[in-house]
Amino acid sequence: MLRKYKFLILLNFLPYFVLPAQTQEDLTADKIYEKINNSIVVVVAYDNVGNIYQGSGVVIDFNGLVATNYHVCKDASRIEIKHYGKEFKNVEIIKYDEVKDIMLLRSSGITLAPVLQGNSNILKTGERIYSIGSPEGYENSISEGIVSGFRTDENNVKLIQMTCPITDGSSGGAVVNTRGELVGLSVSGQHEGNLYFSVPVNDIYELAGTKNLIAETIEPENYYKIGTLANEKENYKDAEIYFSKYLEKFSNDISAYYNRGYARFKLKEYKNAISDFSTVLATNVTGESYFYRANCYYSIKDYDNAFDDYTKALEQQPDNYNIYYNRGYSCFRLKDYEGAIRDWQRAIALNPDCEKELSVKIKIAQEELDN
């Protein structure tokens, strides 16, 4: 089995910019959905007697903080968050406001992009908005409407009245403006007469302890930050997505190619990973890039190129036993049994802990050589 030594995420020193909302253009519904689809989740609450309650939630920071409705989880003994095929079970309640029907959850495993924050105080009656949630379990459905007005309920809680329909399962979903910024949280609906309401986003961020929780725009600079977090948490598909989004703007950033290449290597997308590592090596020769490109070549049975890259990696890191270990396998596949024995012996000299394992391999290579 090939060795994979611990990879180091290359640092990125590009600044994170703040883009004022008023400078952004209005988006079409399909672009809005594309922008926030990875920020909306399903929230599933289980009580002690076997009842299951399903609602929606919105990721609002880079550390897995999710906003939903209090009534979705109020009786829960256990909460799970889901996003398509992913399930996050280590969910804890951070804060809640029963009167305003807001609850904040967190799961350390979430590496989804946070939604961009809007300002519910500047919403206007008649303004076009969109709601995204999971009605009846139909995950991340989008509907269009307008702001119908601003109301105050019997508890003196301010609500946004809207025409975007809300049905069972939509509660806690996102309400966004035409720039894809969060302006509210779907809260309830009276289906006859198209009366639907949402909690103003400013109340959500006030409960979170700040009125400007997401000061940084997530497009495109912070995709690097989210991708890095995804790699660290071994959510490699997320990492590939976010580094790809980042590279749409910063196509010359070789550290992003390296990190996306690593994610693709872990996803067994070897040819795409080879392309990324080749881009890095065109301008920045490093042992790590040669090593991982060699692993990709080996995985697709291109042993000649794997051998060449392991050799180049050793020129950069001559005392790395992992490289000798892996090059020994390439030699063995190429029927260079003498080379395999030399490399494995060198790996043992650098790391005696692998002697027991490699002594068996050396014996096999010697038998092949004797034959």
Residue 138: per-residue pLDDT: 84
Q: Are 175 and 163 in contact (CB under 8 A)?
A: no
> Do the domain assignments include residue 43?
yes
Residue 275 sits in the same domain as residue 296: no
**Domain interval for residue 60:** 39-107
* The residue type at 328: G
Residue 183 sits in the same domain as residue 235: no
> Do the domain assignments include residue 189?
yes
Q: How many CA atoms lie within 13 A of 233 on its CB side?
A: 21
> Do the domain assignments include residue 215?
no
Per residue in 92-119, pLDDT (tens digit) is 999 999 999 999 999 878 888 888 888 8
Residue 267 has phi, psi (to 5 degrees) of: -85, 0
CA distances (Å), 18 to each of 23, 24, 143, 212, 356, in order?
11, 12, 28, 12, 56
Residue 191: per-residue pLDDT: 53
Mean per-residue pLDDT for 222-236? Answer: 83
Residue 256 sits in the same domain as residue 307: no
Per residue in 138-194, pLDDT (tens digit) is 888 999 999 999 999 888 889 999 998 888 888 999 999 998 889 999 987 655 556
User: How many other CB atoms are found less than 10 A from the CB of residue 138?
Assistant: 11
- Is residue 311 scored above 50 in pLDDT? yes
User: How many other CB atoms are found less than 10 A from the CB of residue 214?
Assistant: 20
Residue 275 sits in the same domain as residue 295: no
> Do the domain assignments include residue 2?
no
- Is residue 310 scored above 70 in pLDDT? yes
Residue 152 sits in the same domain as residue 130: yes
Instruction: Give the pLDDT band of residue 135 (cuts 50, 70, 90).
Output: confident
Both tokens of 248, joined, read 């749409």
> Do the domain assignments include residue 202?
yes
> Do the domain assignments include residue 176?
yes
Residue 202 sits in the same domain as residue 275: no
Residue 200 sits in the same domain as residue 230: no
Residue 292 sits in the same domain as residue 342: yes
Mean per-residue pLDDT for 320-335? Answer: 94
Strand 86-88 to 91-97 pairing: unpaired
Instruction: Give the pLDDT band of residue 303 (cuts 50, 70, 90).
Output: very high
% of residues, the chain, pLDDT over 70: 89
What is the value of pTM for the model shown? 0.61
Q: At what angle do helices 270-281 and 287-299 cross, to 10 degrees?
A: 150
Which has more pLDDT, 272 or 220? Answer: 272
Q: Are 62 and 225 in contact (CB under 8 A)?
A: yes
Instruction: Give the pLDDT band of residue 208 (cuts 50, 70, 90).
Output: confident
Terminal alpha carbon distance of the chain? 24
- Is residue 322 scored above 90 in pLDDT? yes
Question: Which among 207, 241, 269 is the end of a domain?
Answer: 207
Residue 96 sits in the same domain as residue 125: no
Residue 309: per-residue pLDDT: 96
User: 3-state DSSP: the chain helix, strand, coil percent, rounded to 5?
Assistant: 40, 25, 35
> Do the domain assignments include residue 1?
no
Question: Which among 245, 262, 283 is the end of a domain?
Answer: 283
Tokens 């071994």 locate to 234
Please spell the DSSP secondary structure of 18-73, one letter per residue: P--GGGSPP--HHHHHHHHGGGEEEEEEE-TTS-EEEEEEEE-STT-EEEE-HHHH
> Do the domain assignments include residue 131?
yes
222-248 burial, b for 16+ CB within 10 Å, e for fewer? bbbbbbbbbbeeebbbbbbbbbebbbe
Mean per-residue pLDDT for 311-339? Answer: 94
Instruction: Give the pLDDT band of residue 19 (cuts 50, 70, 90).
Output: very low
CA distances (Å), 336 to each of 19, 319, 327, 367, in order?
58, 22, 11, 13
Instruction: Give the pLDDT band of residue 85 (cuts 50, 70, 90).
Output: confident
Residue 264 sits in the same domain as residue 297: no
Q: Measured on CA atoms in the order 295, 300, 305, 307, is the torsion positive or negative?
A: positive
Instruction: For residue 225, give the CATH number of its domain.
Output: 1.25.40.10
- Is residue 368 scored above 70 in pLDDT? yes
Residue 299 sits in the same domain as residue 369: yes
Both tokens of 204, joined, read 């959500």
- Is residue 22 scored above 80 in pLDDT? no
Residue 189: per-residue pLDDT: 64
Indicate the number of domains in the chain.
4
Q: Among 207-211, 312-316, 365-369, which range has the highest average pLDDT?
A: 312-316
Which has more pLDDT, 153 or 10? Answer: 153
Mean per-residue pLDDT for 191-210? Answer: 82
Residue 37 has phi, psi (to 5 degrees) of: -55, -35
